[in-house]
Amino acid sequence: MVGQCHLPGQAEARPHQQTGDGTPRESSPFINSVDMERESYYEGKNMALFEEEMDSNPMVSSLLNKLATYTNLSQGVVEHEEDEDSRRREAKAPRMGTFIGVYLPCLQNILGVILFLRLTWIVGAAGVLESFLIVSMCCTCTLLTAISMSAIATNGVVPAGGSYYMISRSLGPEFGGAVGLCFYLGTTFAGAMYILGTIEIFLTYISPGAAIFQAEAAGGEAVAMLHNMRVYGTCTLALMAVVVFVGVKYVNKLALVFLACVVLSILAIYAGVIKTAFDPPDIPVCLLGNRTLAKRSFDTCAKVHMVNNASEGTMLWGLFCNGSSPSAACDPYFMQNNVTEIQGIPGVASGVFLENLWSTYSDKGAFVEKEDVPSVPVPEESRTSGLPYVLTDIMTYFTMLVGIYFPSVTGIMAGSNRSGDLKDAQKSIPTGTILAIVTTSLIYLSCIVLFGACIEGVVLRDKFGEALQGNLVIGMLAWPSPWVIVIGSFFSTCGAGLQSLTGAPRLLQAIARDGIVPFLQVFGHGKSNGEPTWALLLTALICETGILIASLDSVAPILSMFFLMCYLFVNLACAVQTLLRTPNWRPRFKYYHWTLSFLGMSLCLALMFICSWYYALFAMLVAGCIYKYIEYRGAEKEWGDGIRGLSLNAARYALLRVEHGPPHTKNWRPQVLVMLNLDAEQAVKHPRLLSFTSQLKAGKGLTIVGCVLEGTFLDKHTEAQRAEENIRALMCAEKTKGFCQLVVSSSLRDGTSHLIQSAGLGGMKHNTVLMAWPQSWKQADNPFSWKNFVDTIRDTTAAHQALLVAKNVDGFPQNQERLGEGYIDVWWIVHDGGMLMLLPFLLRQHKVWRKCRMRIFTVAQEDDNSIQMKKDLQMFLYHLRISAEVEVVEMVESDISAFTYEKTLVMEQRSQMLRQMQLSKTEQEREAQLIHDRNTASHTSVAARTQVPPMPDKVQMTWTKEKLTAERHRDKSAGGAAGFRDLFSLKPDQSNVRRMHTAVKLNGVVLSKSQDAQLVLLNMPGPPRNRQGDENYMEFLEVLTEGLNRVLLVRGGGREVITIYS
């Protein structure tokens, strides 16, 4: 059955109810309803069983229809042509295949400026063998990266956005943003390198006379050249930026022309090599001794020549001597060494290959020398700067040459960057990219062998062709003319620069529009047709910094770093996804393995440090800063990335590791379950409880914020969702790092018990429960609220968990407050694991409590030696490495006061009444109020009593309003004591009297010492084993903490939590 689509607005216009695919549901329960139209009755009958879920689960037919009409739109930019017609033409045009769409763009991007301007020099300096190693390393690195990239690119549809899109969706926004910006910077600096290459070709080989700056002094040519590069480079950059801004479509159309230039140049090189085998070109190179001479300022390679049967000094003589006459004073090296002429390009058959096998590294300013030519050394040379020697312009060594060469193998992403324009991206990207890398690797490797076999070593090491009268070395080898290479390389580098200036702003725009780096948002905007204007401006500015460096050899290692960083993360993405075996990792490209990705990643890292360790560290620092910035300030994105999967795997592994047993005492810290209460609007009642949690935890360990909603989950799931959102918002505001766990249960009591039993996972379970004191336990409308509280205490004890009860929690400090001078007082009555010692120490780690000092009070009985107790306690604290003031308080045995009896009587009378009377809710409220009135009245009368009156054994259980009124009148007439005695016919339980006596006495002692303390920590006595006295237990706790400002009642979990051992 085909699902029928309808517009959202049509649903309201129809009388019958619509399903998700537009099929009307039956409006009547009867099959043969006369009101039902016949068509609508038969429509959708096959899927009647699923019709109620069709809003969320569409039919397969409609889903497949949507997938079939999916258009692969560009992520960053609407295409350059603004008018509808051209877009329509483009849509109708056949999409590109592997050859045109991937292979040729990769070929064009990989082959470029380094091949023409630096490869011969690299072969000359490093020798054929080491050059072979350099190229092999770099090509292996890109091949392994291409394999990883192919796996990622074929794992689902890759929209336009290329490598950035692949990495960010595989490794998450943090890595994606960091690597995306590295790739952007690499592409931008590549633009600068191509522009510098263009200017170098122009000023050195096409039109040397166009130089603006000339060398004023001898040896100043290099500085003048750099200034010329800066001026011309800046002008060229401005021109290219304008071209890209005005008509980027022309750049795309010219790409084929630039590619043709590259291919023709390479063919010309191979043709020239073949020609040298049978007809080597006559290109003489002049040597003085074993030193190469720059053949720019002289024509004849000889010291003297015959003019009218007389010998005269040549132009070369004039350069080395003070005059042209044979008797003039000359340079000593010139006088003692002969001038010889050798062939610059002796050809393949000459055997020069063996001489060029080994490296010839040299320092800056060294002579370019031929090793097997005899030379007479001179002890001291005064002036070499003005003499026509060919000198090395920079120091050469293996690692530096790797950095300069690596940019010539970049460009492997060109195919994946065009994924939106390909007919079948998942087939074309792997095939085209790997074929392009194999092709270019063979070209580079064959060129190294052929250059070493054809060209003389001194010519190879002559970077700017000075010995060849300023001609391009590789051009002299080419056939039919050197100009094929010069013009071809000029246009190809020019085109590559334009391509970089076109691609880099689009990459930046894609990153900006993803919204992961907030300060880049402005670069997401552009012209009405989507052209990234602001991004182009920033790209031009960054490119200008590269041009101001002005040296091709200095810029190349910079972009090597950024590209290597990008490739490293492509390999990492593939390795992570493969090792995690995520269900979505199903690449069509099958020839990958995590070991290959890991090898590629290691090779990238090694190459980074081989090229330049300080550039590598700088690139990592930049990527790390961007990563941390996105982590803290960036937008939250959930892209199903591999790093999240890695985190889950790591978490699972860690959880399984900590499952084996409880932590050692040294590792124990409170892993807190915070029990929150909600009001009718699902807002948190005591938000300061979370403030206290974050102060206690300081972001360490586990925090679970638990909450119970009363009801059934089906009815309350929306309220539960709202409550969870409120709790998470409060956790965020209070900077509480932890998890929220909300339970909907039929009763609060059961829900709390379930949380205490089951919150957490495996070894990551809580060991401490933190809750607020139930302030409403005495209120008339909730006489049994204490029941849940006392049962929770019993649950924590049974579960061997510690319990913290914060009383007056709304008066606790917020995270923004800073408590000044004050004390945290610990009343250590009984030892239950050392929680009382540990908690103040943890609190004082937080800024709120940092300035508070710690005092420890312990209670001595009459038969205790209080002086010895104090010494022992001080020694104990010293071993615990906790600094605190110590005080031993003596509690003298005294008679139980009348006030204690009175308190006990009032408590028992109240609990008896509430327990025995089975009244309705309104009567209970009235009874509680009457009891309150009676308590108030009795306080005044009891003050005069000095001893407890004898009480009858009979316990009066019934109590009515009339009897209370009568007793009140009797009380007034007969006097306070007699009336009170008649009123209370209860005999107080002796154990209750003793407990009340302890509570009253302790409260008095604590008040006398700690009334002004910022926080008081007290041992919490356990609830009675006999459940009949639970309400009395609440009264004891109330009396114990009466009059104190902030109290934390602490109950240990039955294990030691602090140790004196290291």
pLDDT digits (tens, 9 = 90+) for 579-597: 888 888 888 888 999 999 9
- Contact 141/560 with Cβ under 8 angstroms? no
Burial class from Cβ neighbours inside 10 Å (0-12, 13-18, 19+) for residue 1051 reads: buried
Over residues 309-317, mean pLDDT: 79
Can you name the residues that pair with 367 across neighbouring β-strands? 391
Q: Give the per-residue pLDDT at 763.
A: 78
Over residues 16-38, mean pLDDT: 43
Cα dist. 74→165, 501, 528 in Å?
A: 11, 18, 16
Over residues 48-71, mean pLDDT: 63
pLDDT band at residue 77 using 50, 70 and 90 as cut-offs: very low
* Nearest Cα residue to 710 out of 722, 701, 719, 702: 719
- Contact 361/396 with Cβ under 8 angstroms? yes
Over residues 212-221, mean pLDDT: 73
Q: Whole-angstrom Cα distance, residue 582 to residue 580? A: 5
Q: What is the pLDDT of residues 372-428, one digit of tens each?
A: 888 888 876 655 667 888 888 889 999 999 999 999 998 888 777 776 677 887 888
Strands 885-890 and 853-860: parallel
Q: Whole-angstrom Cα distance, residue 270 to residue 293? A: 28
Q: Does the reported pTM lie above 0.75?
A: no
Q: Give the per-residue pLDDT at 53.
A: 62
Of 282-286, 729-733, 974-978, 985-989, the range with the lowest mean pLDDT is 974-978
pLDDT band at residue 834 using 50, 70 and 90 as cut-offs: confident
Q: In the 3-class helix/strand/coil scheme, how is 188-248 assigned residue by residue?
A: HHHHHHHHHHHHHHHHHHHCHHHCCCCCCCCCCHHHHHHHHHHHHHHHHHHHHHHHHHHCH
The residue among 310 and 931 whose pLDDT is bigger is 310
The residue among 865 and 1059 whose pLDDT is bigger is 865
Buried/exposed code over 219-256 (b: 16+ C-beta within 10 A; e: otherwise): eebeebbeebbbebbbebbeebbebbbeebeebeebbe
Of 534-548, 676-690, 954-968, the range with the lowest mean pLDDT is 954-968
- Which residues have CB under 8 Å from 628's CB, separation 6+? none
Q: Check pLDDT > 50 for residue 85.
A: no
- Contact 857/826 with Cβ under 8 angstroms? yes
- Contact 699/820 with Cβ under 8 angstroms? no
Q: Give the per-residue pLDDT at 907.
A: 65
Q: Give the per-residue pLDDT at 452.
A: 93
* Nearest Cα residue to 43 out of 14, 64, 22, 65: 22
Task: Quickly list DSSP for 129-172.
Answer: HHHHHHHHHHHHHHHHHHHHHHHHHTSS---TTHHHHHHHHHHH
Matching residue, tokens 């699972």: 652
Query: What is the separation of C-alpha 780 from the centre of its chain, rounded to a whole number of angstroms?
Result: 54
pLDDT band at residue 20 using 50, 70 and 90 as cut-offs: very low
Q: Give the per-residue pLDDT at 889.
A: 85
- Contact 467/293 with Cβ under 8 angstroms? yes
Neighbours of 947 (CB within 10 A): 8
- Which residues have CB under 8 Å from 792's CB, separation 6+? 675, 752, 753, 756, 769, 771, 803
Q: In the 3-class helix/strand/coil scheme, how is 248-308 assigned residue by residue?
A: HHHHHHHHHHHHHHHHHHHHHHHHHHHHHHHCCCCCEEEEECCEEECCCCCCCCCCEEEEC
Q: What is the pLDDT of residues 778-826, one digit of tens each?
A: 765 665 567 888 889 899 888 888 999 999 888 899 888 888 888 999 9
Q: Check pLDDT > 50 for residue 941.
A: no
Q: Check pLDDT > 80 for residue 541.
A: yes
Q: Whole-angstrom Cα distance, residue 218 to residue 385? A: 6
Of 44-48, 180-184, 202-206, the range with the lowest mean pLDDT is 44-48
pLDDT band at residue 915 using 50, 70 and 90 as cut-offs: low
Over residues 650-676, mean pLDDT: 79
Q: Check pLDDT > 80 for residue 27.
A: no
The residue among 385 and 173 whose pLDDT is bigger is 173
Q: Check pLDDT > 70 for residue 893.
A: no
Q: Whole-angstrom Cα distance, residue 784 to residue 773? A: 14
- Contact 233/540 with Cβ under 8 angstroms? no
- Contact 279/479 with Cβ under 8 angstroms? no
The residue among 574 and 419 whose pLDDT is bigger is 574
Q: Check pLDDT > 60 for residue 946.
A: no
Crossing angle between the packed helical segments 785-798 and 748-758, to the nearest 10 degrees: 20
Q: What is the pLDDT of residues 443-488, one digit of tens each?
A: 999 999 999 999 999 999 988 888 888 888 999 989 888 899 999 8
Rounded to 10 degrees, the C-alpha dihedral 773/778/782/788 comes to: 40
Q: Walk across the sheet containing 823-828 and list its strands.
A: 739-745, 703-710, 672-676, 768-772, 802-807, 1047-1051, 1015-1019, 823-828, 853-860, 885-890
- Contact 496/287 with Cβ under 8 angstroms? no
pLDDT band at residue 660 using 50, 70 and 90 as cut-offs: low
pLDDT band at residue 6 using 50, 70 and 90 as cut-offs: very low
Q: Whole-angstrom Cα distance, residue 44 to residue 46? A: 5
- Contact 23/42 with Cβ under 8 angstroms? no
| Residue 311 DSSP SS3 | strand
Q: What is the pLDDT of residues 606-654, one digit of tens each?
A: 999 998 888 899 889 988 888 888 888 766 676 666 677 778 888 888 8
Over residues 265-272, mean pLDDT: 93
Q: Give the per-residue pLDDT at 950.
A: 41
Over residues 699-709, mean pLDDT: 86
One-letter amino acid of 532: P
- Contact 819/851 with Cβ under 8 angstroms? yes
Q: Give the per-residue pLDDT at 71.
A: 42
Can you name the residues that pair with 543 across neighbouring β-strands? none
* Nearest Cα residue to 385 out of 594, 578, 616, 215: 215
The residue among 72 and 728 whose pLDDT is bigger is 728
At residue 539, what are phi and psi to the nearest 5 degrees? -60, -45
Q: Whole-angstrom Cα distance, residue 299 to residue 208? A: 18
Q: What is the pLDDT of residues 981-999, one digit of tens each?
A: 443 445 566 677 777 777 8
Report the mean per-residue pLDDT for the chain: 79
Of 49-53, 370-374, 520-524, 773-777, the range with the lowest mean pLDDT is 49-53
Can you name the residues that pair with 739 across neighbouring β-strands? 704
- Contact 841/1017 with Cβ under 8 angstroms? no
Percent of the chain clearing pLDDT 90 (strictly above): 22
Cα dist. 1013→817, 822, 1007, 1038 in Å?
A: 16, 6, 10, 18
Q: What is the pLDDT of residues 1008-1035, one digit of tens each?
A: 888 888 999 988 888 877 777 677 788 8
- Contact 373/289 with Cβ under 8 angstroms? yes
How would you classify residue 581: left for phi > 0, otherwise alpha for psi between -120 and 50, otherwise beta? left
Which sign, positive or negative, has the C-alpha torsion 778, 781, 784, 789?
negative
Q: Give the per-residue pLDDT at 106.
A: 86
Q: Check pLDDT > 80 for residue 217.
A: no
The residue among 896 and 458 whose pLDDT is bigger is 458
